[in-house]
Amino acid sequence: MNKKSSVDMSTFLYRHTNRTQGLSTWLQKADLLFVDNPVGTGYSFVEDEKLLVKTDWAAVTDFKKLYNENESLQRSPLFIVAKSCGGKFAVTLGLSVVKAIKAGTLKLKLGGVVLGDSWISPEDFVFSWGPLLLDVSRLGINVANRSNSVAERIRQQLAKGQYYEATITWQDLQNQIPRDI
């Protein structure tokens, strides 16, 4: 991959040409692009900090350049894969890829976007925990209500721009639920 691209330094691309014989793997059918965001999270890094992009859109621009300049990357379907904070960028990249393919400015077969435990909407996450754990009989109604009450406090903190406080409250909720199970 082009070492001058900031995208390739913050992602891992597993190509179908690297397939292992005898194993059942997605790589038998497609290429996988694992994304992290921001660079420096997880296993991602840059060798030269001048290559860091300042916005998701700049990374998308680098991605399109990388794929349009390399015909071998255009042959197999690509799945964009992310977890945690990378999920937000994977969605941004996926939507940008679909738009660029439709506009004819990107030559690529997009197989899909795969999100695992992606941290896209903190509010939606914390409001899902109480009802989900109640539905699967891991919490009683009183504990689920307490969880929802803490989630409401997080929503209010986010609405007021109190991001640090919301993070602390979220951590408290994460620690509270296992104690109550």
Q: How confident is the model at residue 1 (pLDDT cuts 50, 70, 90)?
A: very low
- pLDDT surpasses 80 at 8: no
Q: Is the pLDDT assigned to residue 145 strictly greater than 50?
A: yes
- pTM equals 0.65
Read off the pLDDT of residues 81-96 as tens digits, 9 standing for 90 and up. Answer: 988 878 888 888 999 9
**Residue range 25-54: mean pLDDT, rounded:** 78
The domain ranges of the chain are 6-118, 122-180
Query: What is the C-alpha separation between 62 and 51, in angstroms, rounded?
Result: 11
Query: Burial of 68 by CB count in 10 Å (0-12 exposed, 13-18 middle, 19+ buried)?
Result: middle
State residue 98's pLDDT score.
93
Cβ neighbours of residue 65 under 8 Å, at least 6 residues apart? 5
Contact 34, 12 (CB under 8 A): yes
Pick the range with the lowest mean pLDDT from 45-59, 67-81, 164-178: 45-59
Distance separating alpha carbons of residues 57 and 113, to the nearest angstrom: 17
What single DSSP character describes residue 45?
Answer: -
- Residues 113-123 have a mean pLDDT of 83
